[in-house]
Every structure is written in structure tokens, then in C-alpha cells.
Amino acid sequence: MKQQQCLKILSAILVLGLLVSVATTANAVSPTVTVSGTVQTTDGDFAPEGLTVKLYSFAKGEVVSTTNTKVGGFFMFSTVPGYYKLIIDSQRKVNSVYLSAASEPFGVFTQNVEKEITVEKKDINAYVNGTITLGTGASFTTNATVRIVDLEHNYYEEMLSYGQFDNTTNTTNPRVQEFNISFYPGKYNLIVEYPEYAPSFNKTVILTENEGTTESVTLYKTYIKGLLRDADGNILTNVTHTTISLIDKGTQCVFTKEITDSPYFEIGAYPGDFVLVVCADGFTPYINTSVSMGDGILTIKDAKVKPLTKTQILSDFNLTSMNNLSAVTRVKMNPYTTLPWFKMGNTGLIRLQIDFVFGNKDFKLSQSELDAFKAYIEKAGPLYVPNQFGFEINNTAFTNVSGYTISVKDAGITNASVPVDVNTDAPIYINYTYKFTADAKINESDVYECTFGYAYDTIMQDYQYRITLPAGYVLTDNTFDRNVVDLAPVDNWQVFTIDPKTSGNAAVDTATMKFEKFSDVQPVINVTAEYWGDHNVLNDTYENYTVIVKTDENVTFSAQNSRIPVGNITKYIWDFGDGNTNETENITVNHTYSTPAENLKVKLTVVGSGGQTNSTTMTLHVDGVTPKPVININGNNTTYVWSNVTTALVFNGSFSTDAITKNDENGTILKWEWNFGDNTTVTETLDNRMYNISHTYLGGEVPYVNSTTLNISGKSIAVKACWIYNVTLNVTDVAGNWANTTVVVIVNDTEEPVPVIKIRDMDGTETTSVIEMTNITLNANESYDPHGGTIVKYNWTIEKNGVNYTQYETNNTTYTIAGGLEPGDWNITLTVYDYAGNAKNTTRVLNVRLNTTARPDLEIQNVTLPDKFEVGVTSKITVIIKNIGGENSSAVLKYLSFTLISGDGSTKEVGNITSFTYPNGTALKYNESITVEFQWTPDTAGTFTLNVSVYSDNEYYTYTDNNVMKKEITVNEAAWKTYAMYGGGIAAVIIALLVIYYISRRRKAGEEEETKSEKKSGKEEKKEEKKEKKK
């Protein structure tokens, strides 16, 4: 259930009387302690594994740790020292329920604590069933919700769960619903809810072992409705959250409802007598103790409330020594608050809560009920200890408690025997008294550091802390944020208050304070001025405090850090060192110096309330001279410098000087501010010196200068093709005086321009390939000279295979090649020149494709020859030529050639034709033919190859393979030579035959003679062989 902000008065306020609400120390390390034990049942058994055990911290007002039981019901927590209680919620395990239980509050500090908790085990062997009927006789459209709440075991403490169990059953009768819930025997509150009907929460049900009970519930549309109004009757428009509680006066059963962002409230219930409590955040609760409801709507037209008064808390801490702290916390409690960890914690009435938790629920608070409440919270301990305790000295915490007492008084109870109504306006006072000693001895010293922290909800609480230091010690320094804390002495800084501001919903701060011992009043001077920084303080020691300020500015002198151990400082006497004085009761004074000066002695004399006086002096310089800036570039102090693009220059301002008066150079430059004229700035300070600053100019940040004449320091300087930058150095001294100077940087244009070629066809489309015979546009529009330079000339070179076609120079960015280029790959080179004479070229390749539709293709289709060729006889050769090229082509024939090729490869042109008559017009168009006759008289007889070829100027060379036709021919001699040749030939044959015959006869006669000789020789050899054998 959502808790209201107005309920979040921390339990520590009511229970602990704490130094801080939720404070953590910055430096101390808290010890760890152990809480362990076992959970047993009332019949002597150990609780089963898995029961949830919670550790509740009274310091935080919440459960800080959760664990589960182990074997033997064992559990263990590790935590920090403090006051706690153990909680076990009702938990169902199979067919048994282990009832909720809680230990008494206990403290655990440096020793471990063992605790034993006994829970009651209940077997689930009882049930309740019944029926639900809608009072209007309507039918159910969805299930009702049925819950039972154990009234005997976990009714009073909200931290212990209600043990709610839902179980609804539909029947076939739409006007009636049945339910059945099984649980352990006991006394219960039966709650039934259904949309748009008021809940029933008054049924008291007794469940008996092994038995059941039957209940009948009727739901009614009975509501209380109303509006929240202020004391003047105006509707509240700033309500963010409201809790409505309806209490049955007979059974004391409570039903609540939450409403957000509306002044309208509404709650339903059954017919009966009730107490109505409406609690809106930030306002006092509305209570009506006599509300009777029937079966209908009862409207409460006005629920008047008023803004809530905060609970006032003063924690008074007295350091009797640096090792001993006694404390009293006084709480003036607004009665319209509650303890959120007790039952009825959402009603916004502390008296109603105490009455229901510790009393007889009669809507009155008696002294005995208040005493029972005191006895309970007294067990919870006095403080957060030790890690949540927000007070340390020299990193040592105060956690050892003694002398703890508590008192509670209700301002509304004037007679102990007479109770007061629970809605009484009178406050309740709770006072806590306790003592602490340091965890470890804090050694005696003249200076101590104390850590102090706090955090609390400012909507319901208004805290103030008062600290009293030991005699002779005062607060000399602190780190509190003055925007959220008011810090002020009571009589002097031995006793002071810490008053957190409450502008938001929470006040949170942690600060370090310094306590120092003083024997006399001590004056302290602090100076600030209109132009002020760390470097205005030349020496920050107390003995030699020295500052520098500017002439004619407002200088503030403060004595705020002056101290007096007892009493107050009543007077401040100032001598400003320039002949002027001031005597005042104010901590601060203002003074203006009009003349530069060095080593002025400013004197402060303070007077205490007891008549004590003491003085201190400081040294003050009044700077009235502007510094002298000097720009050094590349080692030279100059008024102008030449440079090139991308060349780094080194700038140095260290030669600048400063003076306090006109006769010295004792001033200090605080800041060097460079503006390089190209939108680049650099700032040097005393804490961040760069000395040599390298800077490169790229050109283009300022306009490009083609040509001009500069006048620098009376000198005329002619410049061209450059950029001009004004470099400014502004120097400021620590007092705030400043001056600047400027030098001129002339940056020559030494960077080449960038040529960019765009080739466009006759349609204007960018391309790298075009068709021949079409216009080509070369475009250099995208060429540029970096950083704002100017291109003044464009040179185009067009070449193929190393041969220039053309070269064209222009100041225009485009060049058109009319009629295009012949097919092939062309190198297009663009050279651009800028104003400074820098040049750069680039080349792109352009592919020119053949125009197949416009190119003719001549074909010799036929060559007709005569039957024979004879030397000296003229013959006619007929040639047919056709244009088979592109459909848009036409060919002008240049000539038709006739060439003889001899067997040895020699050639001879025998004639040609250069004049032609075309079928239509002056050219041979596509698919037209022409017949040409050639008359030829051979002059040489023999066998030849006749080569016929035709030529045209506009026919591409790859088309000329069909421009030639060859014919094999024979040219005969003249007829008379033929006859003479035949007669001479016969005579020669006859002579040859006679010679052959004669030769053959001579060869035969010789062969016969040789044969006869060989035979004769053979016979003689055989005769010789026979003679040998006989021997």
C-alpha cells in the first residue's frame, strides 16, 4: 500500500531522538556484527527450511536484510551495530501455516547476538464457504474477490503480513457466487469486494478444526462522497495524494482507499456506523467519528482541512570535552502523523494509531495508552550506531551510549485521568537524553576536524541542530553549502546552530567543520574586488597576506573570519593605507583606490564585547597601468610578416610587460588572448602557459587579394595573390587592466590550383565515351584554386597515340570540339593557372566510338572481265560497287584503282577512275549501287592478278576489307606473234629429236663392246684355276 508523504515522519524521530535523520559519516569505517539464531515451533520442533526471516532496523524504519532458514531452523545476518527486531511473516508450507512472529527490540554493538524465535504452526484443516449476493438483485459479470485476515495473530503491526488468501467460485446462478477457502482454525475478518459495489469487511468468522462454517454476504452500492476544502470553503486544487480510511465502530475493522491528484474522495462500505478519516498529503486529516451508512449514498459535502504544521526537532549537543558528548533531542510532534510500521499507519493521526495499537480502540487517548507507547519505543534504543551516526571528531565516531532516558508528554492531556479525542490539535512532546563517548581516545590538540551529516524529509520535519564546544574552542571553518544551510553563532562561535533550509522535499548535506582553540580575539582580513581571481592573492599566509587590485574599482574588505572565543566582536576599525579610515560594526566595508601604488599597508583592528582588541595588517598593491603587449613571430618582434600557405608560424607573447606604477615593471600578466584572424583563438593563462604557439594559415578564411597596397606603420607594401590576416594579442594583468596590439600576416598563394575535367556529350551528359561525329564539350567548371584563389587560364591538349590533335588556351571554363573526334582513345589534358602563376594539370581518357549509322561501307560486289585479254587490244572491265554501311551513311568515292600483280610480287597500276556518277545526288547513299566501266589495253603478255580497289574519304579503315576484289587473268600476245612462234618451235623439235637419236646409238655401240671384253677375261681365269688343281 502506498504511504503518504505526510506519514513519512521517520521512525527515528519518534523512536530514536537522533542527531541526524539519515546520516552517514564520510570517513569512519563501521564494524560488522552478527545476528544469528534458530526458529522453533511451539511444539518444540525446528522450523523447516525456507522460512523468510527479516531484520528490521529502527534507525532506518525499514527491513534492511532478509534471509531464509537453513536446516534446523538456523538463520544469520551480518549488519552494522544498532537497534533491531526480527520479523517472521505468515508463510504457508504445503498443508501448514507458520504464523507471523516478531522479537522484542534489541541492540547489537561490538558483540554478536544470538536470538531464538518461536512461531506457531497451524495445520490447514478448517474452511469457510458461502454465497455472495448483489443487493440490487443484479447478475454477476465477473468474479468477486474474497479475502480473510487473521485477527488474532497479525492484526496490529503492519510490518507483519495480513496473510490474505483469495478463493472464489462461480455457480450456474448468475445472481449468486459461491466461495470456499481452506485455512487453519482461528478468528478472521472476511472481506468481499466486487467492482462498483461497496466492500464488505465486517464479517467475523470463526474457523474450527476439522469443521467448516457458512457465511452469506450481500454487497450494496453504499458510498461516502465529498470534496476537500480549505478553512474558507474553497476546493483544494493542489492535492496530490489522499488516503481514505473507514473504521467499523463495532468491529474496529478498517478499510482504506487511495486517490491521486483530485480533491474529490469516495469510499464504499456496507450499512453500519463508522469513523471516517480523510488524510491528504500536506494537510491536516479530516475525521468524522459518527458516520451512519444505509443502503444508499451518503454525501459528505465539506471535508475541511488546513495546511499541516511541521514537526519541530531540536538536537542539542554539548561537547564537554572532545571525547565526551551529551545530547538532548526535543521533538514537538505534529499530532497529524503516524508511525508507518504500526497498524493504522495510513490514517495520519498518531493518537488514533496509539489507541488502536496499545489501547481499547475507543477513539480516545489515555495516559496509560501513552505510557504503553513510550515503553515500546524506549526499547528501540537512542541512536543510529555507529555507521549511521553523523558526528565524528578526527575520524573517530561516538557510539558508546550511556545515561539514555526518554519522556513523552501529550499537551492535550491536562488531567491524567481524562483521555483526549484522537483528533485533538495539541502537539505531543518527546524528549531524549543520552551521552556518548568516543570509540577511541581523541588526543588533545589546538585544532580538531568534525564531520557532520544529516538528511530528512522537509515536508513533515523541521530540524535544527545546536552544538556547544568545550571552553576555549570555537568554530573557525566549515564546508556547509550556504545555499541550503543557515549557520549562525548563538552568542559566539563556541555555541552555534545548524539550520537546514527547507526549499525542497528533502534536506541533505555533509560537511567538515574545524574547531580551534583561541586565547584572544583574532582579526582576519579577506579581500575581494570586482575583477578577482586566485592570482590576485600574491601571498595567502596570515602573516604576509598580500593582494593586488585595480584603480577605480570597488574593493571589498571582510573581517568575517575574525574570531573571538567568548563574547562578540563589536567594532571593526580599518586603515586603508592611503590616508582613509573607516570605523564600523559591519563585517565588510568597501573602498576605492584612485592612485596606483605599491606596498600599501592595510590595517584591521577588532574590538570584542569584553573590550579585547587586536590588530593585523596586510599588503596591498594598486595597479593603475595597462600592460604592453608584444607579438613575436618566429623569433622576431615585428609589425608584419610574410608567409606561405601551410607554412607554420610560431607566435610568442612572452615579451609583453606589465607595471603597477609607471616607474616599475612589477606587474603580472594574467592572460594572453590570441586572435589569429582566421576564426582561430587561443587563450593562455598563468596556470596554462603555452609560450610558443604554432599556427598554420591555409588561406580562404579571409578574402583573396589579387593586388593591393598596404600601409603598415607608415610603410607602403605592395602585395598580390595573397591573403591578409590581422593577428591580435590582448593581454590582461591580474588587476584587470588590459591592452592589445595587432600585426599583419601576409600569406602568399603558393598552393597549386586543382584541375577537374568533366566531359559531356552532345546531350550534356557527363561521360568518358562518346560517338564520333558528335560535338564534345570539355568542362572545367569544377576546377578550383584552394582557399579562395582565382584560376585565370585554362589550357586544353587533345592527343592520340602521342600525336597532338589540337591545343587550345582560354580564360573560359568550357571548350567545345565541334564535329567530335575520330574513333579511338584520346588523352584530354587540362592545365589550369591561378593568379599567382601556380599551375597544375590532369588527364582523362576519352573513348570515341565508331558511328555505325553514319559511316559508309563500300563493297565491290562484282568485277566483270572480257573473255580474253590480248596485248595491244583494248578490253572493257565492269565493276559494281554498293554502300552497305549505316542507314544514314553516304560515300563520296575518291577513286577506283586497277593494279596488276605479277608472279614475282611486283605491282603496276594500269589505271584508275576518279569521277563518278551517282544514282541520286552527289554521293552513294546507303544500299545504293554504282556500275563503273574501265577500258584497258594490255601492253604485256602473261598471267597476272588483277586487283580492283575502291576508296572513299569517310569510310573507316576497319570497313575496307571488302573494298578490294582480285581476279586472275591471262594476257595473250598479239596474233601474228603466235604464228611465228609456232613454226620455229616445230623446226627446233625436229633437230632435237635427231640429236637425241644419234646420241642414243653411240651409247648402245659402246655398251656391246664392253660386254665382249668381260666374257673373254672370264674364260682365261677359269683355265688358270684348273692348272692349279692339277698341281
Residue pair 570/609 in contact (Cβ under 8 Å)? The answer is yes
> Is the pLDDT at 10 greater than 60, yes or no?
no
- 758-849 has CATH 1.10.4030.10 classification: no
Report pLDDT for 1018.
54
Query: Where is 1008: in which H helix or E strand?
Result: helix 975-1030
Handedness of CA 532, 533, 536, 540 (dihedral sign): positive
Confidence (pLDDT) at 400: 66
CATH superfamily of 223-304: Carboxypeptidase-like, regulatory domain (2.60.40.1120)
Residue 283 has pLDDT above 80, yes or no: yes
**pLDDT of amino acid 27:** 42
How far CA 285 is from CA of 280, 458, 769, 803, in Å, comes to 7, 19, 92, 106
Torsion 958-961-964-969 (CA) sign: positive
- CA 27 to chain CA centroid, Å, is 33
Tens of pLDDT, residues 565-622:
666 788 999 999 999 999 999 999 999 999 999 999 999 999 876 566 889 999 999 9
- Answer yes or no: is pLDDT of 489 > 80: no
Report phi then psi at 883, rounded to 5. -90, 110
- What's the whole-number mean pLDDT along residues 834-838? 88
Look at residue 591 in the predicted model and tell me its pLDDT.
96
Q: Of 63-77, 625-639, 701-715, 845-859, which gets the smallest average pLDDT? A: 701-715
187-220 b/e with 16+ CB inside 10 Å = b? ebbbbbbbeebbbbbbbebebeeeeeeebebbbb
- 96-100, 545-549, 725-729, 856-860 — which is least confidently predicted? 96-100
Burial of residue 107, with CB atoms counted within 10 A of its CB: 0-12 exposed, 13-18 middle, 19 or more buried: middle
Least confidently predicted of 14-18, 747-751, 848-852 = 14-18
CA distance 697 to 115: 81
Which CATH number does the domain 858-973 belong to among 2.60.40.10, 1.10.472.50, 3.30.540.10, 1.20.140.10? Answer: 2.60.40.10
Lowest mean pLDDT across 202-206, 544-548, 828-832, 950-954: 202-206
Report pLDDT for 157.
Answer: 37
Query: 922 — alpha (psi -120 to 50), left (phi > 0) or beta?
Result: alpha
Average pLDDT over residues 124-152: 84
Nearest to 575 by CA among 557, 550, 554, 548: 557
Strands 632-633 and 636-637: antiparallel
Whole-number pLDDT of residue 405: 85
Q: Are 316 and 408 in contact (CB under 8 A)?
A: no
CA distance 417 to 406: 22
Mean pLDDT for 285-300 is 81
Lowest pLDDT segment from 160-174, 192-206, 304-318, 729-743: 160-174
Tell me the range of 377-391, 558-572, 1017-1031 where mean pLDDT is highest. Answer: 558-572
Please report the DSSP string for 15-46 in residue order: HT--S-SS---SS-----EEEEEEEEETTSPB
Q: Which of 258, 230, 124, 137 shows the shortest CA–CA distance to 180?
A: 124
pLDDT in tens, 957-1007: 888 889 999 999 999 988 666 555 555 566 666 777 777 766 777 676 666
**Architecture (CATH level 2) of domain 10-122:** Sandwich (2.60)
Q: What average pLDDT does the chain have?
A: 83
For the chain, state the CA radius of gyration: 61
Fold for the domain defined by 632-748:
Immunoglobulin-like (2.60.40)
Alpha-carbon gap, residue 488 to 501, rounded angstroms? 13
Across the range 931-937, mean pLDDT stands at 93
Q: What is the pLDDT of residue 842?
A: 95
CATH fold of 124-219 = Immunoglobulin-like (2.60.40)
The pLDDT tens digits of the residues spanning 236-263 come to: 888 888 888 888 888 777 888 888 989 8
Q: Average pLDDT of 523-527?
A: 91
Q: What is the pLDDT of residue 651?
A: 95
| pLDDT band at 346; cut points 50, 70, 90 | low
Candidates 1.10.260.40, 3.40.630.10, 3.20.20.70, 2.60.40.10; correct CATH number of 526-610? 2.60.40.10
Confidence of residue 102 (pLDDT cuts 50, 70, 90): confident
What is the per-residue pLDDT for 168? 46
Mean pLDDT along residues 99-119: 84
- Does the pLDDT value for residue 122 go beyond 90? no
Q: What is the pLDDT of residue 2?
A: 32
Mean pLDDT of all residues in 866-893: 92
822 or 665: which leads in pLDDT: 822
Check residue 983 and give its pLDDT. Answer: 55
> Cell numbers at residue 556, please?
571589498
Alpha-carbon distance of 105 to 381, in angstroms, equals: 8
pLDDT surpassing 80 at residue 519? no
Percent above pLDDT 90 for the chain: 35
Q: What is the pLDDT of residue 378?
A: 80
